[in-house]
Amino acid sequence: MQVKSSNRYRTLPKLNDVVRKKKVKPKLIAVIDEDNCTGCQVCVPFCPVDCIEPNPIDKYSIPIPPVQVRWNECIGCEACAKACTDLTWDAIRMIKTPEFEDHYKILID
């Protein structure tokens, strides 16, 4: 049975106090499928804006937590998703921005 895609991206990271602003609204936003992510961080150096980070230790009581994307900084380039799919575990979903906004009730600016 196919899992409905929206069930895969349940949580959002807590944002930093200081955030960088994007110049253009991206068409896609990367969301980590935390149930599939091993926390290997292979995707991290592929991100051109450095917005992938490990989840806080208090969210997961395991030695290597999955990563999270600071969604407000993501420019939707898909580099992380390609790296994860090609090199590791296929744990990053590229979500159309309107779908992301609708699902999380958040406006990307």
Binding site for ligand SF4 (CB under 6 A): 30, 32, 37-43, 46-47, 49, 51-52, 66-67, 69, 74-80, 84, 88-89, 91-92
The residue (of 38 and 97) whose beta carbon lies closer to ligand SF4 is 38
The residue (of 43 and 100) whose beta carbon lies closer to ligand SF4 is 43
Q: How far is the CB of 87 from ligand SF4 (least distance, A)?
A: 7
Q: How far is the CB of 34 from ligand SF4 (least distance, A)?
A: 8
Q: How far is the CB of 53 from ligand SF4 (least distance, A)?
A: 10
Q: Which residues contact 2 (CB under 8 A, 6 or more apart)?
A: none
Q: How far is the CB of 2 from ligand SF4 (least distance, A)?
A: 21
